[in-house]
A and B are shown apart, each in its own frame.
Chain A
Amino acid sequence: MSDAISNKALPGTAPPNAGADKTVVKAINLSGGIFGACPAHVDVKDGKVVRIRPLHYDSKYDFESFNPWEMERNGVKLRPLTKSVPPPWGLAYKKRTYSPNRVPYPMKRVDWDPNGERNTQNRGSSKFERISWDEATDIIASEIKRIHKEYGPLAILVQGDGHSESKLIHAPHGCSTLLLNKMGGFTQQVRNPDSWEGWYWGAKHVWGKGFIGNMAPAENLVNDMTENTDMIVLQGGDPETTPWGFRGQFASRLMFFWQKAGIEQVYICPDLNYSAAVHANKWIPILPNTDAAMQLAIIYTWVVEGTYDKEYVATHAVGMDKIEDYVLGKVDGVPKTPKWASEKCGVPSYTIKAMARHWAKVRTSTGHYFGGGFIRGPYATEPARLECIQLGMQGLGKPGQHHAQIAYMGMPKNITWDQLNYDIANSDPSTGFQEYSGTFETIKQKDPELYERIFNPHRGTPQAWGKQFIPKTLIEEAIKAGTDKHINFWGTGGHEEEPIDQMIKYQYPVKKGDLRFSGSEKKNLAHNDTDIDKIYERIDYDGVPIHMVWTDTPCRQTCWGDGFDIGMTIRSPQIEFVLAQHPWLENDCIYADIVLPANTTLEVDDVMPCVRDGEHFQTMLNMRQAVKPIGESKSDFECVVEIAKKLDMEKEVTIGRTVEQYVEGVYKGMNFDKITPWEEFQEKDYMVIPVSKNWKKLPAGLYEFYKDPVGHPLPTPTGKLEFCSTNLSKYFPNDEERPPYPQWIEKGITHDERLSSSRARTYPLLIITNHPRWRVHAQADDIPWTKEAMTGKIRGFDGYLYEPCWINPKDAEARGIKTGDIVKVFNERGIVLCGALVMERIMPGAVSVDHGARTDIIIPGKLDRGGAINLITPKGLTSRHAGGQATTSFLVDVQRASMEELDKWRREYPEAWNREYDRASGLKANAWVERGK
């Protein structure tokens, strides 16, 4: 056992490409953006993929030359493996490339006529016909020109952000901005923090900007926790699920190592999540989104028993008096006792007390990796801020006491940190990118034109950089505002914004004089500066309402909130043209007027720096084409180039360079030729960045703040942990949904999703919608082999593969539900059909459906068969002034779909119910093609 953990027994193994005639390297993680992960070897024969397998780092280099790190606790050791550890769907990725759901050729909606009737009301209902690339790009170019002439460039909304395959040159998202930015700009959909709403909209007001709201700096957490932490509390975190899409399965090894090394793991969540299932010392089931009650009771226990670090709090925090008054009931007359909390959260009061006392006694860190019901529901700001306070009360930053995104950050640093002379001194530590953004910075210095070409498409996710923008959570509200009204919101939601940005009231359409963050001054920005006018500048142009949507991110319905409404709103005649480019005809694609066939990473030449934390080593990959493009597909970048050609803008988009020149430019631009010569990299197609010999020298997490809070202040207005926020007190003193200090919010003007609601009489269950185990959000729902896992899909009696709905045997029995039954999960927002999975991995009163299943709409706005649970999530934001989404922990009921009902739907909607379907992989693109199959 410890051999496997420590890797002592493993000789270097480098499998040859048996039965193949070509092997290429690919990053097969699905987080997208400028950073890849999960390097793999792809074996190809006769132009077809034979297999995808982990990259053995030592297949072309000496393993010891990587200077592998080692960690130890209680005699148990952890070392890197000699191979990468990709997630299951990455290893099955050829099924995505060869999916029957691929868009085979350019298509036009049959009743959308750009020169006549557009029939926007039929989006999502009418089917498609095949057209040629030439015809498609003619129409698109002429529509862009027409829109620009009639309304101006900002009338085009770009939805080009979020997760995807990891490709740099052929960026799956945002390539359209390379073209539109040079034609006068565009309206940007700003991707909001969609997995860590609470940290972004809440925690930032306690410990400052952090890394997109999470604790920062977060260096060397993994080793420090290994050596010093006694207990890890995971409030909704699931290291066996959410890390997979980002960096593969190293986190799994780490959790096993910590387990074997005797570090206690306590999971507080409604479900026995995948990590709890195999790592938990203790599972404390808690009703969805009631964590704040238990947290308040823990704080109450510490206050009345005097078991928190008063000295630390006096020197490192402000606002403890307010917290004390609140938990003792001096504010609202309700002491937040364990008994009070127990009634809200379903955890016995004696267990809450036991938890509080143990936490106060042993060195405790909290563990997350985005995701989890804890941080994504209504009023997620409150549990997030309460966790910051819990950590603060016990001495955040002391050895072993951290807020850790399990291995997302805090792994041993490689030599780019201390040997390649990046400008670390001037990088912004609160971004958490540090030396890695430095590596891109060097491209900027050497070759600004290349930097813009490579980086701009990827900016859509972290930054609000469009001339006019709409937060992703408010697209439907923006469309509903029509052409004569506007919408307001606080904060752009851009990942890298300062906390102060959330105090600014923005509007769409923009108008002259509106504030915009002045990016150029970023490095000199004082984090404690609350003078908005010093940090922001005013724009000198007016915006316009949107009339066209260009999406390469067609997953809104299944990834964002109130999805049924999304599908109805996009039918507005104001939106004259919807253009989608995507490899698969899934989710929002069916609402498009033209669909362009994009392709997958296996079909292109590309390059990928896998340089973020969370794997055994960081690597750089020369990702050569594995197979020829499927059908008439082109890469997302090539799709844009085809359109640019028709607009006489090709050179502006390609900057006149070939893919080979991009690859070389990126490699040398990032100084990697100083580690491995360019020629050697070309021959071997990958290189491993050695671990720094000095990695242990970096202080862990907030250690320096702990040692010296004056010399190393936090980036908050007071420089301290703000248990009560200076900014929120100043700008939103009367906000009852996100008060200046965190509180229990039973209900508010934005949400009414608790068991105390009158709605609970009709919808008595609380549902959690975790990030999926067998997908990355909407990605990879067509892989047949993951569906065969017990929790993959449930095959109904009709042969259809339903998304599983976890339900406790008690709730199932009361409803006559058995495993395998087709069930309706529903509330007033609609019905989603699922397959029942009756088991003890979910507590009574709660049910669980992973989000991100492909929609299969039977009745528009009302009924879905695909199991896309986000179709019925709450409409509202995290809270009135916090622009996140609230897509988990809401009221539903679950009932067996009766034979009569199923029969009625089958009879009344025969075409939708009988769509062409693949028994192994599910939905097929062909189902939506009417002419020219």
Chain B
Amino acid sequence: MGKKVFLVDTTICNGCYSCHIGCKDEHVANDWTPIAKPMPEIDHFWFKLDEKVRGTVPKVKVAYTPRFCMHCDNPTCAQACPTEGAIYKRDDGLVIIDPIKCTGCRKCMEACPYDVIYFNRDLNIAQKCTGCAHLLDAGWKETRCSDNCPTLSIRIVDEDSEEAKNFIAESEFYKPEIADKMKPRVYYKGLPKKFIAGTVFDPAQDEVVIGGCVTLTAADGNVSKIKTDHFGDFWFENLPDGKFKLEIEADGKTKLFDNLDTAVADINLGDIPLT
């Protein structure tokens, strides 16, 4: 059995929640012991779609970020579990909470830095994404979330496949700062960063400024330049959290924005009169 990895491309996620629904459809009122006991009808999100509205009117984007068990190669949940074999890693890389052995102590929930384990009060067990191990064992090549996904934004594939290698080469981790420790098996593209955007116009002419030069300088001195487009718009995307300086220049007129802090939020500078 090849080791599995999940590839999540958020740039083609439309936020339809069919992943979440596939997970519920598979697990609510269906008992897949020994892999999983039934999931409660609501309030469990073994497959959770985080939804974030970024920016302010009219520079707004919505970021959808699928979050589920990372099936870590260094699963702190398993290490925290006091019951021998209650949380184990399969040969295919999937991490499973044994629904029979679990005693409901919740130590795994505290130990998981990704917040993807849920407690089932009725059954007194911890539950989470199983990678649809029961389906893979039955011959499936998909999980329910990936099979339901209309855009192939979520894929489960063999780690040594071409698709995985190509994807991983350009990918990133959710919470990259702990990736080295946890060794997650879920790879992302397009995790939301920050943007600085605005529209430049000339109030005297009542016209947008097209081709205006916008220069963004990061605290480390890194400089990027773009020109305003046919709507007078500029968008600096995929910015890290940090302090920036932004300068607009057109027809000899300039405008300066100092001390822009993307750590707080995405920044819409609004409609900027260039005078």
Contacts and interface: CB of A to CB of B under 8 A. Distances in A.
Contact of B139 (A16, A87, A249): A16
B74 interface: no
A740 B51 CA distance: 47
Interface bin, chain A: 35 or more
Interface in A1-53: 1, 3-5, 7, 9-11, 13, 15-16, 18-19, 50-53
A54 interface: yes
Interface in B220-249: 230-233
Nearest to B140: A15
A85 B135 contact: no
Contact of B147 (A54, A361, A841): A54
Given A256-B12, A789-B51, A283 B58 contact: yes
B53 A840 contact: yes
Given A16-B140, A19-B30, A350-B201, A786 B42 contact: no
Contacts of B151: 4, 249, 252-253, 256
A252 to B, nearest CB: 5
A277 B25 contact: no
Contact of B60 (A361, A788, A841): A841
A134 B271 CA distance: 70
Given A51-B144, A788-B20, A278 B53 contact: no
Interface string B13-41: 11111101110111000101000000001
Interface stretch (A88-96, A147-155, A164-172, A902-910): A88-96
A305 B17 CA distance: 47
Interface in B138-153: 138-142, 144, 147-148, 150-153
A358 B208 CA distance: 12
B231 A282 contact: yes
Nearest to A51: B25
A5 B12 contact: yes
A15 B140 CA distance: 5
Contacts of A253: 150-151
A839 B52 CA distance: 10
Interface string B122-141: 00000000000011001111
Contact of B189 (A1, A87, A278, A354): A1
A1 B9 contact: yes
DSSP class of B's interface residues: helix, strand, loop or mixed? mixed
Contacts of B142: 13, 15
Contacts of B230: 354, 357-358, 361
Nearest to A921: B41
Contacts of B210: 354
B24 A272 contact: no
B248 to A, nearest CB: 15
B20 to A, nearest CB: 7
B271 A348 contact: yes
B62 interface: yes
Contacts of A10: 152
Nearest to B170: A1
B61 interface: yes
A88 B41 contact: no
A613 interface: no
A711 to B, nearest CB: 37
B206 interface: yes
A74 to B, nearest CB: 17
A336 to B, nearest CB: 16
Contacts of A11: 141
Contact of B150 (A248, A361, A784): A248
B55 A789 contact: no
Interface in A325-374: 338-339, 348-351, 353-355, 357-358, 361
Interface string A789-817: 11100000000000000001000000000
A249 B135 contact: no
Contacts of A3: 163, 166
Nearest to B42: A920
Contacts of A788: 17, 20, 42-43, 45
A396 interface: no
Nearest to B52: A790
A81 B148 CA distance: 12
Nearest to A240: B14
Interface in B182-239: 189, 199, 201-202, 206-208, 210, 230-233
B49 interface: yes
B208 A351 contact: yes
B139 A91 contact: no
A843 interface: yes
Given A249-B16, A252-B150, A349 B144 contact: no
A285 interface: yes
Nearest to B154: A4
A844 interface: yes
B25 A94 contact: yes
A278 B53 CA distance: 11
Given A4-B12, A19-B30, A788-B42, A839 B53 contact: yes
B57 A808 contact: yes
Contact of A15 (B9, B147, B152, B155): B147
A844 B57 contact: yes
B56 A840 contact: yes
B26 A51 contact: yes
Nearest to B12: A256
A18 B135 contact: yes
B231 A786 contact: no
B188 to A, nearest CB: 12
B15 A785 contact: no
A700 interface: no
A700 B233 CA distance: 33
21 contacts: A1-B9, A3-B166, A15-B142, A16-B138, A18-B140, A51-B25, A51-B144, A91-B148, A240-B15, A252-B16, A252-B151, A277-B60, A339-B206, A354-B208, A785-B21, A788-B42, A789-B49, A840-B55, A840-B60, A841-B60, A920-B41
Which 10 pairs from chain A and chain B are nearest by CB? A85-B150, A18-B138, A249-B150, A277-B62, A4-B152, A790-B51, A13-B141, A920-B41, A354-B208, A785-B24
Given A348-B271, A350-B207, 5 more contacts: A18-B140, A19-B134, A51-B144, A350-B201, A354-B230
